[in-house]
Structure 1
Amino acid sequence: MAVTERVRLDKWLWAARFFKTRSLATEACQAGRIKLNGAVVKPAHDVRAGDWLLVRSPGGEFEIQVQGVSDVRGPAPVAQALYAETDASRKSREREAEQRRLAPEPSFELHGRPTKRDRREMERWRG
């Protein structure tokens, strides 16, 4: 594993397994979904140990402190050692996951066009 003092933000996000590909990490940086020490930065910005990151990814919103830097994607336990998530961030993500579990989005059950039976039920509800 290549350990250095600083590394590009998009490489670090990929190595820490927040994004599946480096191009997805780059797109997230360019879209403003990544904040480094409270500021939106470009993908080529350097990350150092001790920096604070706010990462909004498909897995949720993470508030983390960088513990180590690496530009090589390794196994999950090694990647998790690169950062420390705050307790508030962890609790918030768990609370959101519980809400999604208890009250799923109704549109997730819809698949394709309504059948004839579905249309009749909709007409019945509309009156």
Structure 2
Amino acid sequence: MSGPSPKLRVDKWLWQARFFKTRSLSAKLVTGGHLRVNGQKVAKASHAVSVGDVLTFPQARRVRVVKVAALGERRGPAPEAQTLYDDLTPEEKPVPKAPGSDGKGRPTKRDRRNLDLMISSRLED
């Protein structure tokens, strides 16, 4: 018979896994009610997570879904932090650009002159 599985505060784990720059930012996300652990909303930063839990939360205009693979002992470098979770976030399809927009923005003065020359040459013909 094995003992209880080790657990860690969810705000601390999110900080150690480098999803948030500070622990207070991760706590603010949790207390704001924006985190789900295994599909259940969590409102306390002291909620304990263990290996195998699935976390769902918003980050940088997208929803992240991660599975806890390990509990960290410290906030180490990024390669070490990436070993703490498995990313289950579905890939987003790229949004096509608006038709007729080449991404250049407004035409420049040179573009307008060339357009005027082209229009005037068509009118003369």
* Interval of TM-score (by shorter of Structure 1 and Structure 2): 0.5 to 0.7
Partner of 2:27: 26
- Distance (whole Å) between structure 2 residues aligned to residue 54 and residue 102 of structure 1: 29
% identical aligned pairs? 38
Question: Match of 1:91, SS?
Answer: coil
Gaps (5+ residues) in structure 1? Answer: 104-108, 110-127
CA contact (8 A) 1:11 1:71 kept: no
As a proportion of its length, which structure holds more helix?
1
Aligned length: 94
How do residues 92-107 of structure 1 correspond to structure 2 at under 5 angstroms?
92=92, 95=93, 98-99=94-95, 102=97
**One-letter amino acid of the counterpart of residue 61, structure 1:** V
- Distance (whole Å) between structure 2 residues aligned to residue 72 and residue 56 of structure 1: 23
How do residues 98-117 of structure 1 correspond to structure 2 at under 5 angstroms?
98-99=94-95, 102=97
TM-score scaled by structure 1?
Answer: 0.66
Which structure would you say has the larger RCO, counting Cα contacts within 8 Å and 6 or more residues apart? 1
Distance 1:39 1:72, change over 3 A: same
**One-letter amino acid of the counterpart of residue 91, structure 2:** K
Question: Match of 1:50, SS?
Answer: coil
TM-score scaled by structure 2?
Answer: 0.67
Gaps (5+ residues) in structure 2? Answer: 99-104, 106-125
Deviation at 1:25, TM superposition (A): 0.2
- Distance (whole Å) between structure 2 residues aligned to residue 24 and residue 14 of structure 1: 8
- Distance (whole Å) between structure 2 residues aligned to residue 72 and residue 34 of structure 1: 22
Deviation at 1:60, TM superposition (A): 2.5
Question: Match of 2:33, SS?
Answer: coil
The superposition leaves residues 30-76 of structure 1 with CA deviations (integer Å, 9 ceiling, x where unpaired) of 11111111111111001100001102122621111100012521111
Correspondent of 2:78 among 67, 76, 79: 76
